[in-house]
A and B are shown apart, each in its own frame.
Chain A
Amino acid sequence: MIKGYAGRVLDVDLATQTATYQPLDEDTARLYIGGKGYGTRLLYDMTRPGIDPLGPDNPLIFATGPLNGSVAPQSNRFAVVCKSPLTGGIGNAACGGSFAYGLKRAGIDVVIVRNQASAPLRIEIDGADDRVRFLPAGELWGKGTYATQAALDKKKYHAVIGPAGEHQVLYAGIVSNERIAGRTGVGAVMGSKRLKAISVNGPRKLEMDDEDAFKAYTKWVREMFRDHPVLGEKLKRYGTAGIVNTTNARNIIPTHNFKYGHHPEAMQISGEWMEDHELTGVKSSCIHCPVTCGRDVELEGVGRVKGPEYETVALLGTNLEVLDLKRIAEWNYLADDLGMDTISLGAVLSFAMELQERGMLNAGLRFGDVSGVSDMIRDIGHRRALGDHLADGVKRLAERYGGHEFAMHVKGLELSAYDPRGSYAQGVEYATTNRGGCHVQGASMYLESVGPLTINPMNLKLKADIPILQQNLACAINSMVLCIFTTYGMIPKQVHNLDPNSFTYKLVTTLFENSGPLMRTAMQLKGKPMMWFEKWLTYITGTTVSGGHLQEIGGRIFNLERMYNLREGLTAADDTLPPRMLHEPTFKGMTSGHPLPQLLPRYYTLRGWDAQGVPTRRTLERLQVRI
C-alpha cells in the first residue's frame, strides 16, 4: 500500500448491522488522492442513476486523505460524499474537528455506510482490535450535537448529527467537535439512515515515505504560517469574520436577501468588533492546526460558545439586516446544536423575509427584526409548522410560494456570502461548481475581492480561467483532505505589505490580468513540488506531486463530478445564477448584473466541454476519467 494510507475501507451495512474491512484501491488512490475524490469515484461506481437521496440506496461515504493523521497544520479534515438531497446532484462537505484523526488512528481511510437501520443506532469503532459495535441510540435520538458528543466515549473522536439530521432537514450537516460538514445535506442522509453517531479511535501511527523530511519541513511551515499576515495574524486574531469590513467595502456582502452588497453598519458584526466587544479571549482550532481561526464568545445563560464565522455573520447578519453579534452567536449556537448549515439557513430565512415583505408568505419574519427567528430555527430543526417548509431549502420554498427571481441558490444549494455582481470570477464559479453555489470549491473571490492582491473583479479578463484554476486546486485540496485556507498562504508575506495604490501593485496586477496563456501553460507544468501541500504529499506518499499534477488530479475529480451530475439529470441550464444576480445591478455605475452568459462559453471551451457543457470524450480520456 502507498504510504500515507491505512489501506483499508470499512464497509458498513446498517440493515444487517455488519461491517467488513476491504482493501483500499491503490489505483483509485493514485488517481483521486482520497477525500472527496475517492468518495466521488466510489459513489459513481456504487450507485445507479436516479436513486432517492434519502432512501437506502444512497451510500454515505466518509473519506480521509494521505495527510490526515499527520501533524501537518490544517490537515485533519474529513470529507463526506453522497447524493445530495438538496440538489439531486453530487453531495459533499468537508469538516475539521478531530474525526479524521480518529479514523486514521484506527487504520481506516474510508467508511462506507450503506442502507438504513430500522431504529436509531450508533457505531463505535475500536482500532485496537478492529471491532465495530452497533449500539442502540434511542436515548440519544433528539439530543443536540453538543449533548450527544458529551454523552459519548471521551477517548474517541466523533461524527454526529442533531435533530436537523434526524428530521432530514435538507441542509442538515454532520458535526465533529464544534465544526460541521455543513453543505448539501449530508446530515439529512445520515439521519435517513437513523445513524446518530460514529465514534472511533485507535493506536495506529501514520506511516510516511520520508518522515524526517516531513518533520523538518513541517517545522518550517509552522514558522512560516506563524509569520504570515493572513494565517498567522488576521485569521488568528479576528477569525474569518475579519473580512466583513473588506467584503462590505467592496459591496459583496449579502444584504437584505442579496438585494444589496453593502450595509452601512456591517462593522458591528466584524471580527474586529468581536475582538473588542464579545470575544472571551479563547480561540479554538481543528486538531493540530496552529491557525486557530475559531473563537469563543460568552452567551448569556449558556456560557462560552463558538463565535460565528464569516459566512454565518454575513448570512444571519447583514443578510437579515440584524447587526447584533450576540444574537447571531446565539442563532449560530442553536443551528450548530441542531446540526444544520448556517449558510443555507441564513439564505432560507432571508428568502422567507422577502416573501413576507412582498405578501407572498406569512412566516412572521421581517428584515431587521429578531423576533420569531430563534423559534423558527427550532421549528426548522424539528420540521414543525412552517419550519417544515423552510427545512426544504430556498429552491423548494420558491416552488411552493413563488419568488424564483430572488431565490438565492444555484442547483438548489444556497449561495455563500459573496455577491458575484462585484466578483465576476466568483459568479462563474458559483454557476459551474458541481455541488452548487458555494465558495470553498474554488474561492475565486480571494483573487479578485478579498485577497491582498486583487485583479479587477469586474472586467472580463481571466474570468473564465480563474474559476478553473481554483476549482481544480480546491478539488485536490479537498481530496487530501486539507483546509482550503492553506491556499491563502500561497501569496507571500511581502505581497501583503504592498501599497494598493502603488506602481508596483498596479504592475503586478496588470501582469497577472494579462497572464492568461502563461497561466494555462503553468497549470500543466509537472516539475518539482513547490507548495507545502505538494511537498507534504510527496514526503508522505513517496510519489512526486507538483502544481501541474494537482491541476490534473483536480480536473479529473471535477469532471467526474460533472459526469455524475449529468447522469442525474442536471444540465448546462443549471449552470446559472439566480435572476437577481443576472439582471439587477447592485451598485452605482452598474447597468446590469453579472455577465455570466458572456463568460460561460469560454469556460466550457477551456474545460474541454462541448457547447452543451458535456465533457468531450477526448477530455475524459486525457484525464483518465472512466465512466
Chain B
Amino acid sequence: MAITVELTYDMAKALGGVRRFEVADARTVADVVRLTRERFGEQGEAFAKLTRVAAVAVNGVLSNHQRGMSTPLVDGDTVTFLKAAAGG
C-alpha cells in the first residue's frame, strides 16, 4: 500500500523543503501524520504541530467533509496538507 503525501508551501518548509513523499501502511490521515513525524525527526515534530490547524485534502476532498483525521485511506490515495487560512 502506498499513499502519496503532498505538502504545500509552508508545510513543505517545515519539513526542510520536502514537497512530496510516499508512506506505506497508513490506514487513516492520522497515521500519515504519525508516520511523517517518526520519519523526519525534529522537523517532523514541527510539521505535526502545524497539522493541528491545517486543512487536509484526500484526493482533493477536505478531510473535514469526510471523517476528519480518521478518514480512511486506500492504496494510491493522495493526501495533501495545507495551511488552514485560505481565501484570495
Contacts and interface: CB of A to CB of B under 8 A. Distances in A.
A267 B11 CA distance: 11
Given A273-B9, A500-B55, A501-B69, A509 B64 contact: yes
Interface stretch (A13-21, A180-188, A230-238, A573-581): A230-238
Which secondary structure characterizes the binding site on chain B?
Answer: mixed
A323 interface: no
A273 B12 CA distance: 12
A488 B12 contact: no
Contacts of B86: 234, 243, 246, 450-452, 454
B62 A454 contact: yes
A458 interface: yes
A500 to B, nearest CB: 4
A327 interface: no
Contact of A446 (B8, B62, B87): B87
B62 A500 contact: yes
A501 B55 CA distance: 7
Given A251-B60, A452-B87, A589-B59, A245 B82 contact: yes
Contacts of A245: 8-9, 82-83
A240 B86 CA distance: 11
A249 interface: yes
B32 interface: no
B87 A234 contact: yes
Interface residues of A, number: 51
Contacts of B57: 249-251
B64 A235 contact: no
A450 to B, nearest CB: 5
B59 A588 contact: yes
Contact of B8 (A249, A454, A588): A249
A500 B82 CA distance: 11
A454 to B, nearest CB: 7
Contact of B87 (A243, A264, A509, A586): A243
Interface string A474-497: 000000000000001001000011
Interface string B62-88: 111100110000001110101111111
A347 B61 CA distance: 25
A102 interface: no
B8 A229 contact: no
A405 interface: no
A249 B59 CA distance: 8
B2 to A, nearest CB: 13
B31 to A, nearest CB: 15
A612 B51 CA distance: 48
Interface residues of B, number: 33
B20 interface: yes
Interface in A240-268: 240-243, 245-246, 248-252, 261-262, 264, 267
Nearest to A245: B8
A501 B56 contact: yes
Interface centre among B6, B56, B60, B82 (most CB of A within 10 A): B60
B19 interface: yes
Interface in A411-465: 422, 446, 450-452, 454, 456-458
Interface in B1-56: 6, 8-10, 12, 19-20, 52-56
Contact of A422 (B9, B20, B60): B60
A234 B84 contact: no
A338 B86 CA distance: 33
A456 B65 contact: yes
Nearest to B12: A267
Contacts of A446: 87
Contacts of A248: 8, 80
Contacts of B10: 272
A264 B84 contact: no
A273 B8 CA distance: 10
B61 to A, nearest CB: 7
A532 interface: no
Which residue, of A264, A458, A588, has the highest number of chain B Cβ atoms within 10 A? A588
Contacts of B83: 245
A229 B69 contact: no
Contacts of B9: 245, 267, 270, 272-273
B84 A500 contact: yes
Nearest to A246: B86
A217 interface: no
A587 B59 contact: yes
A310 interface: yes
- Interchain residue pairs A-B with the least CB separation, the first 7: A251-B60, A245-B8, A272-B9, A230-B87, A249-B80, A243-B88, A456-B65
Given A246-B8, A270-B8, 20 more contacts: A234-B87, A234-B88, A241-B88, A245-B9, A245-B82, A246-B86, A246-B88, A249-B8, A249-B60, A252-B60, A262-B78, A264-B6, A451-B86, A452-B85, A458-B65, A496-B84, A498-B84, A499-B84, A500-B64, A586-B60
28 contacts: A229-B85, A243-B87, A246-B86, A250-B62, A251-B59, A267-B19, A272-B8, A310-B88, A422-B61, A450-B88, A452-B84, A452-B87, A454-B62, A456-B65, A458-B61, A458-B65, A496-B85, A497-B53, A498-B84, A499-B84, A501-B56, A501-B63, A501-B64, A505-B64, A509-B64, A587-B60, A588-B76, A588-B77
Interface of B: 6, 8-10, 12, 19-20, 52-57, 59-65, 68-69, 76-78, 80, 82-88
